[in-house]
């Protein structure tokens, strides 16, 4: 949680405490990398917090452990709340037919394009299809001085916008098999595109590891295009205040539709809380229009679908809201981190010419199937 978000959350807490006399909210902020370990330790020690804001990909994992309270059936008015939020973010709370959290905020990645580099190469605007993306990326590349496109790494989040936009899938809808999905035609085509761009020097080698980060590289003119989230506005405000940030939808795949990957956080209540009633009130309060508006002022995209297009929200939310309509959630499964690693390693082997995309993804499919069978 960023500093502006933390300050804003204090207002949300104050409003809650005013509306619920006798209930006090004590907030604790953790760094993302320490959070999971700290939570596990506290759960194991019987000292878990009453509620927490979890990365959406952790919810199935904690739900499977039995650490989370099932919210459908316990939270008064759950059905109304569930009906008022975007279905994509809501789905990230589902585990074995029940809901273990509420989508507190959401985000997705869109294309960022550096107007200065586009203008100087005479490219009119951001690419609209992946074919155009490939062409423009190569047009805007020049040796080690400039790359048309860059990804933050090979972990699934990085190639996910292009992967999903080109129709790629990791598993089937019922989360039963990866065969024919992660190694299906569209998935292979997406990896092939990235591999070709890399071989032609149009995709920066930083994604293999240990290069210049995408946010610095994009603002300094090393990377003409990157894919990233709404927080980039505030990051650039701090580090490159003069840099003009330009967002556009992820280029469309062969079926003409765009897609991307859903990110965000869910609010969960821990199963062993002794303040269940107050915790549930707090959960509902965070999903109120007032709280969501307050947090939106600092770049947190609300999950209430009724707020889409609201004129009071920052203007740059529009492109993210539009992207969210087709953005897809990653696989809701407790072994997701291992599945992510399987795709990550497959992409590494492709870029290193150890395997072709089909072979690499066939291997990933086998690894993911083994995880699904556990």
Partner 1 sequence: MTARFARPASDQRRRGTGPFEGTTSKPFRRFWRAAIFLLPGFAVYLTFLFGPMIYSARISLFDWNIVDPTLSEPVGFDNYSRALGDPIFRRAVVNTVAYTLVTVPGQIILGMGVALLLNQAIRGRALFRVLYYLPVITPWVIVTLLFEYMFVGQGGLVNWLLRDVLGVIQKNVLWLADPILTFVPIHLLGIWKGVGWTAIIALAGLQAIPQELSDAASVDGASPLSRFRYITLPLLRPTLVFLMVVLVIGGLNAYISNLLITDGGNPLDLTHFVLTLMYEATFTRLDFGYGAAISYLLAVFVFMVSLVQIRLLRRRVEL
CB-nearer residue toward partner 1: 19 or 65 = 65
Q: How far apart are CA 146 and CA 203, in angstroms?
A: 10
Binding site for partner 1 (CB under 8 A): 36-37, 40, 43-44, 61, 65-67, 144, 154, 204-206, 208-212, 222, 271, 337-338, 341, 345, 348-349, 352
CA atoms of 174 and 180, how far apart (whole Å): 14
Q: In terms of CB distance, is 31 or 124 closer to partner 1?
A: 31
Q: Smaller CB distance to partner 1: residue 212 or 319? A: 212
Q: Give me the least distance between CB of 66 and partner 1, in Å please.
A: 5
User: Considering beta carbons, is residue 204 or 246 the nearer one to partner 1?
Assistant: 204
Q: Which residue has the tokens 């459908």?
A: 72
The three-class DSSP label of residue 199 is helix
Give least dist CB 82 to partner 1, A.
25
Give the shortest CB-216-to-partner 1 separation in angstroms: 10
H-only helix segments in 143-286: 160-165, 185-199, 214-219, 232-239, 276-286
Q: How far apart are CA 102 and CA 93, in angstroms?
A: 6
Q: Which residue's CB is nearer to partner 1, number 169 or number 356?
A: 356
The phi and psi torsions of 268 (rounded to 5 degrees) equal -120, 155
Tokens describing residue 329: 């959630």
Q: What's the rounded Cα separation, in Å, for the pair 85 and 351?
A: 39
Closest separation in Å from C-beta 226 to partner 1: 14
Q: Where are the beta strands (DSSP E) in 290-374?
A: none
Choose between 211 and 314: whose C-beta lies nearer to partner 1.
Answer: 211
Least Å from the CB of residue 363 to partner 1: 12
Question: In the structure encoding, which two tokens stand for residue 272, read together?
Answer: 């062993």
Min dist CB 244 to partner 1, Å, is 23
């Amino acid at each position: 949680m960023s500093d502006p978000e933390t300050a804003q959350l204090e207002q949300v807490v104050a409003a809650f405490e005013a509306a619920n006399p006798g209930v006090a909210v004590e907030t604790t902020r953790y760094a993302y990398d320490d959070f999971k370990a700290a939570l596990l330790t506290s759960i194991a020690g019987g000292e878990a917090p009453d509620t927490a804001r979890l990365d959406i990909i952790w919810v199935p994992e904690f739900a499977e452990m039995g650490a989370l309270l099932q919210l459908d059936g316990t939270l008064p008015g759950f059905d109304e709340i569930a009906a008022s939020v975007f279905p994509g973010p809501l789905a990230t709370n589902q585990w074995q037919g029940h809901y273990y959290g509420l989508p507190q905020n959401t985000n997705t990645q869109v294309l960022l394009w550096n107007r200065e580099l586009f203008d100087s190469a005479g490219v009119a605007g951001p690419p609209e299809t992946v074919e155009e993306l490939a062409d423009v990326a190569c047009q805007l590349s020049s040796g080690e001085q400039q790359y048309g496109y860059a990804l933050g790494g090979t972990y699934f989040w990085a190639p996910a916008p292009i992967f999903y936009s080109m129709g790629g899938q990791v598993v089937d809808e019922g989360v039963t098999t990866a065969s024919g999905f992660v190694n299906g035609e569209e998935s292979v085509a997406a990896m092939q595109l990235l591999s070709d761009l890399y071989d032609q020097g149009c995709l920066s080698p930083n994604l293999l590891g240990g290069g210049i980060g995408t946010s610095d590289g994009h603002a300094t003119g090393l990377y003409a295009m990157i894919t990233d989230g709404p927080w980039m506005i505030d990051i650039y405000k701090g580090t490159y205040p003069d840099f003009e940030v330009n967002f556009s939808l992820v280029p469309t795949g062969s079926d003409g539709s765009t897609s991307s990957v859903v990110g965000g956080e869910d609010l969960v209540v821990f199963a062993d809380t002794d303040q269940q009633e107050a915790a549930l009130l707090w959960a509902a309060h965070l999903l109120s229009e007032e709280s969501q508006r307050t947090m939106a002022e600092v770049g947190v995209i609300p999950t209430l679908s009724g707020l889409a297009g609201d004129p009071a929200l920052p203007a740059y939310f529009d492109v993210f809201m539009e992207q969210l309509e087709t953005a897809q959630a990653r696989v809701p499964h407790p072994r997701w981190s291992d599945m992510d690693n399987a795709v990550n390693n497959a992409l590494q082997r492709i870029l290193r010419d150890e395997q072709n995309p089909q072979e690499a993804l066939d291997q990933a499919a086998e690894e993911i199937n083994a995880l699904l069978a556990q």
